[in-house]
Structure 1
Amino acid sequence: MKRVLFTVGSTFFDELVDSALSDIVLEALHSRGAEEITVQCGAYKGKNKELAGISSTPVLSWNEEHGLQLEIYAFKPNLTEEFMRADLVVSHAGSGTIIDVLRLGKPLIVVPNPSLLDNHQQDLATELEKLGYLKATTPRSLHDCISKFEAKELIPFPQKDKGKFQAILDEMMGFD
C-alpha cells in the first residue's frame, strides 16, 4: 500500500480531510507501508488554515514525523488517473466515485458524509460493505479501519455486462 488517495468529491467534507491529515491516520498509513499520500480536499473550509483557499495546483510537502510525501489539491477535472495510480482509495461514499474505483479493481474504504441529503451515502456504503466490495467507516474510526484493512478480504466488483443492455433493447424492439 505505497500510494493512498483520499478524495472528498466535488463538494466539501472537511471531517474526512482533517482525519486524513491527522497524526493517528498518517501513523496508521506509515505502519502499513504507505509512502505517498494524495488528498483531494475539495472546497475545504475546516480548521486547518494552511488548506483554506487551496487551489487545484497541487501542494507538495514532506511529513517528517511519518516519512510520507503529501500532495494536496482542491479539484482535478478527472480523477481516473489518480485512482489508477493508487494502491488504496479512501473516499466519500458518492455513488459515481464508488463505481469508478471498484470497476478499476482498486481497494476502497468509504467514509459517508452525513451532512448530505438524507444521509444517502451511509445507505449505499452499508449495502456495498455487506456485499463485501468495500469497507465503510467514519472519520473518527478511519485510523482503526486502515490499521485492520485487508484488501484480499474484499470481493471483486462485477464488471459491466455490455450484452445486458443490448438484450433489453432487442426484447423491447421485438428482435428476439
Structure 2
Amino acid sequence: MLVFVTVGSTRFDALVQTAISEQVLDALHKKGYRRIAIQRGNSDLGMDGGDNGQDLMVFETNGMEVETWKFKTSILSDIQRATLVVSHAGSGTILDALRQGKPMIVVPNPTLLDDHQGELSSRLDALGYLKATTVNNLAVTISAFDPSSLIPFPPFDGSRFRRLIDQEMGYSVSSS
C-alpha cells in the first residue's frame, strides 16, 4: 500500500520532515503501508547532507520504501495510485484527492500569512470528508485513522456553477 504526501508549491519543511520521522513511518507500517511517495517542493528533508540538490531520491528506512521529489507537472497520477493521501491543506490538492475518492489526512501549514488552510481543513473535517490534524499529531492521527468513517465527497456538478452565475447576473434561471 502506498501513501502519497504532498506540500504543493509552498515550502513546508515541518510536514516533509515529520512524514519521514520514525514515529510516522512506524504508524504507517503498523497500518500495512510499505511505500511512501513525497512531493516535497523546496522543503528541506532534514537529513544529514540534505538532498544535495537532487530532485528524485529513493531510500529505505524504518521498513518503508521512501521516494521523494521536488515538483512534477501534475500529481494526479500519484494521487490515483495512492491508498492514502497526506497533504498540506491547499484547496486544489484537497479537491483532486477527494474527487478521486481517496482517504485523506490534511495538515494545514501554520506558517502561511492567513489561516485559510486551517479554516478549510477544519470545515471539511467537520463535514466528515477528510481528517485534519497538525504536524505534531500526525503519527497519532494515522494510528487512529479509519478511512471507512469518511463520508464520500459529492461528485462535481458543473450545472450548479452555471445556475449560480445566471442567478447573480439576473438571468432567468431554468429548473434544469
Report if TM-score (shorter chain) is over 0.5: yes
3-state DSSP of counterpart to 1:117: coil
Give the drift of 1:69.
Answer: 1.1
Cα 1:154–1:37 shift into 2, 3 Å: same
For 2:100, the equivalent position in structure 1 comes to 104
Cα 1:75–1:128 shift into 2, 3 Å: same
Identity over aligned residues, as a percent? Answer: 45
Task: Map 1:35-74 onto structure 2 (within 5 A).
Answer: 35-45=34-44, 47-52=46-51, 54-56=53-55, 58-63=56-61, 66-74=62-70
Cα distance in 2 between the residues matched to 1:152 and 1:51 = 37
Cα 1:109–1:28 shift into 2, 3 Å: same
- Matched-pair contact (CA < 8 Å) for 2:99–2:155: yes
CA RMSD of aligned residues (A): 1.8
- Matched-pair contact (CA < 8 Å) for 2:57–2:68: yes
Give the drift of 1:39.
Answer: 0.8
Runs of 5+ in structure 1 lacking a partner?
A: none
Given the alignment, which residue of 139, 142, 158 partners 1:146?
Answer: 142
Cα 1:175–1:44 shift into 2, 3 Å: closer
* Structure 1 runs (4+) greater than 3 angstroms displaced: 49-56, 165-176
3-state DSSP of counterpart to 1:61: strand
Matched, 1:124 2:120: yes
Given the alignment, which residue of 128, 136, 149 partners 2:132?
Answer: 136
* TM-score, structure 1 as length reference: 0.90
Runs of 5+ in structure 2 lacking a partner?
A: none
Give the drift of 1:87.
Answer: 0.3
Matched, 1:158 2:154: yes
Cα 1:51–1:155 shift into 2, 3 Å: farther
Cα 1:62–1:127 shift into 2, 3 Å: same
Matched, 1:95 2:91: yes
Give the drift of 1:35.
Answer: 1.2
- Matched-pair contact (CA < 8 Å) for 2:19–2:25: yes
- Count residues in correspondence: 172
Cα distance in 2 between the residues matched to 1:20 and 1:156 = 25
* TM-score, structure 2 as length reference: 0.90
